Amino acid sequence: MPEIKRTQLAAEHERLGGKMVEFGGWWMPVRFAGIVNEHLAVRSSAGLFDVSHMGEILVTGPDALRFTNKLVTNNVERLEPDQAQYTCMCYPTGGIVDDLLVYRLEDGYLLVVNAANIEKDHAWILKNAEGDIQIRNESADYIQVALQGPRAAEILAPLTDARLETIGFYHYALGTVVGMPAIVSRTGYTGEDGFEIYMKGGESEASKLWRAIMERGAAFGLVPVGLGARDTLRLEMGYMLYGNDITQDTTPLEAGLGWVTKLKKGPFIGRDVLLEQKERGLQRSLIAFAVEGRSSPRHGYPLLFNGVPRGEVTSGGFSPSLERGIGMGYLSAEAQAVEGQLAVDVRGKPISASRVSLPFYKQGSHL
Amino acid sequence: MDEAIRCTSEHEWVRAEEGLAVVGLTDYAQSELGDIVYVELPEVGARFEKGEVFGTIESVKSVSDIYSPVSGEVKAVNTELEPHPEFVNQDCYHQGWIVKLEMSDPSELDDLMTDAEYEEFISGGAEE
């Protein structure tokens, strides 16, 4: 078994009494005060997340744009100098290697990838490298925290020289936070306004950053948030979780990520299969649903259509905001073409479900 | 914790009360599970053997079975848990009780851990 990795903030979480678990090879807090409490704090005020386990891979060089655009499904050419975009990276089969953010930096492109996929992604990028480029896996150097919630900007403003009011959604500024150089990005995984702050450094910089934000946020109701609430918050928005909703066996089109799949932008890895899939029509696609009663759909539970299994729940659970069970899963195109009753097989019992439009939670402060 | 209770290695407690066995989840269990959002209760009249699954408890994060600590027939279920599953978090030994069983063999209680033994059990690495 490989050693469990610790972020620069692991000791801080332990000091705060976070309940620590292994997640994707990392020793991470799953909760502090409790998932529901943390979730509601982010929706109403603000929460601070350690996401330093995420990976950062830098692509530089004269051919960085051309290469990055070949690698991902979204159109990197459209990025302005201070902008980021959400995208997928596919195999030639159209299956997804990972979902990621691409930041256009002054000297290249920063690819922010999922923690559990860092080595896989890095190897994939190296394998496909072409042209005059340099690829550097800088994941271990970066501290990343996410400050999320309607009060995030008020909390962060006095701690940074970045002019937050000028940073639009999915844009960033370079500046200092708590006196240290950082990328301040108006992005997140919660549906609320907020920032993801990237900074190079070790434990002492990370603790300094974390403590300064927590101290400043105390009066605003800022709480530390673990991976448990990170998952419930993103599920309420219908955001993808790699390994659950999207995998090497699902395509961006099936996952409803056509909006980041620019088939007309020119060649990219997976495009031929995706074009064909689009022309032929999808055999299945990801749907969202809410269930009756108080039990929750969970990852792996069968999706029933007129009583017959026609798919599987990929993400599911109790929504603290809506106070009911919600989920997503792939349902066959045949079952979607006709009228019928959707249900989830919850431990042998069919529980009625109704399809809903995403996001599940529609009152987020940044939609 | 209540001195009159007995506990199982699956983290249920049982307390004899007016001839019935009142069953619930221990404080350790509710704390490990976190926010409880649903308790699936058995039917009154159902019979369970010791160690048999009689219900399910869902937290935000996980789903767990609840095992019958003793054999017997369900005489009452805590219907208050339907609107208020959080009672298990807030007051697991009283307001958060789950079922009351009529024991078919009260001597089974003697096989369970005492309060002190259970405390030792959970501090001795009950976490996997």
Q: State the CATH number of the domain containing residue A33.
A: 3.30.1360.120
Nearest C-alpha of chain A: how many angstroms from B8?
24
ipTM of this complex prediction, to 2 decimal places: 0.87
Are residue A215 and residue A287 in the same domain, yes or no? no
Above 50 in pLDDT, residue A71? yes
CATH number for A287: 2.40.30.110
B-chain residues near A35 (CB < 8 A): 34-35, 60-61
Above 80 in pLDDT, residue B2? no
HSE, CB side, 13 Å, CA atoms: give it for residue A24: 22
In this prediction, residue A1 carries a pLDDT of 61
Domain end (from A236, A269, A294): A236
Q: Is residue A310 part of a domain?
A: yes
Are residue A217 and residue A288 in the same domain, yes or no? no
Residue A70 and residue A27 in contact, taking contact as beta carbons nearer than 8 Å: no
Are residue A288 and residue A219 in the same domain, yes or no? no
Of A36, A228, A295, the CB nearest to B38: A295
Above 60 in pLDDT, residue A367? no
- The domain of A214 spans 10-53+141-236
Residues for chain A: how many in total? 367
Average pLDDT over chain B reads 93
Answer yes or no: CATH 2.40.37.10 is held by domain B6-117: no
Q: Is residue A342 part of a domain?
A: yes
Nearest C-alpha of chain A: how many angstroms from B123?
16
Q: Is residue A94 part of a domain?
A: no
In this prediction, residue B128 carries a pLDDT of 42
Are residue A193 and residue A47 in the same domain, yes or no? yes
Going by C-alpha positions, the residue among B45, B3, B21 that lies closest to residue B108 is: B21
Total of domains in chain A: 2
Are residue A198 and residue A308 in the same domain, yes or no? no
Phi, psi of A139 (to 5 degrees): -55, -40
Above 80 in pLDDT, residue A231? yes
Report the C-alpha gap between A14 and A21 in whole angstroms.
11
Q: Is residue A219 part of a domain?
A: yes
Domain end (from A181, A204, A236): A236
Binary contact (A320, B60; C-beta < 8 A):
yes
In this prediction, residue A235 carries a pLDDT of 98
A94 to chain B, any CB pair closer than 8 A? The answer is no
Q: Is residue A330 part of a domain?
A: yes
Are residue A171 and residue A291 in the same domain, yes or no? no
A 308-327 near B (Cβ less than 8 A): 317-318, 320
B61 to chain A, any CB pair closer than 8 A? The answer is yes
Average pLDDT over chain A reads 97
In this prediction, residue B18 carries a pLDDT of 86
Residue B56: which residues within 8 A CB-CB, separation 6 or more? A347, B38, B39, B40, B63, B64, B65, B66
Nearest C-alpha of chain B: how many angstroms from A300?
13
A30 to chain B, any CB pair closer than 8 A? The answer is yes
Q: What is the pLDDT of residues A263-314, one digit of tens each?
A: 999 999 999 999 999 999 999 999 999 999 889 999 999 999 999 999 999 9
Of A294, A318, A347, the CB nearest to B60: A318
Are residue A146 and residue A232 in the same domain, yes or no? yes
Of A35, A232, A347, the CB nearest to B56: A347
Residue A153 and residue A163 in contact, taking contact as beta carbons nearer than 8 Å: no
Nearest C-alpha of chain A: how many angstroms from B99?
19
Report the C-alpha gap between A253 and A240 in whole angstroms.
13
Are residue A330 and residue A218 in the same domain, yes or no? no
B-chain residues near A37 (CB < 8 A): 35
A273 to chain B, any CB pair closer than 8 A? The answer is no
Query: What's the predicted TM-score (pTM) here?
Result: 0.95
- Tokens 């009249």 belong to B45
Q: What is the pLDDT of residues B19-49, one digit of tens each?
A: 899 999 999 999 999 999 999 999 999 999 9
What residue ranges do the domains of chain B occupy?
A: 6-117
Residues B57-67 have a mean pLDDT of: 95
Q: What is the pLDDT of residues A170-217, one digit of tens each?
A: 999 999 999 999 999 999 999 999 999 999 999 999 999 999 999 999
Are residue A220 and residue A145 in the same domain, yes or no? yes
Q: What is the pLDDT of residues A78-126, one digit of tens each?
A: 999 999 999 999 999 999 999 999 999 999 999 999 999 999 999 999 9
Three-state SS across A208-274? HHHHHHHHHHHHHCCEEECHHHHHHHHHHHCCCCECCCECCCCCCCCCCCHHHCCCCCCCCCCHHHH
How is residue A327 written in tokens? 């989920």
Above 80 in pLDDT, residue A32? yes
Domain end (from A236, A271, A302): A236
Number of A to B CB contacts under 8 A, please give it: 37
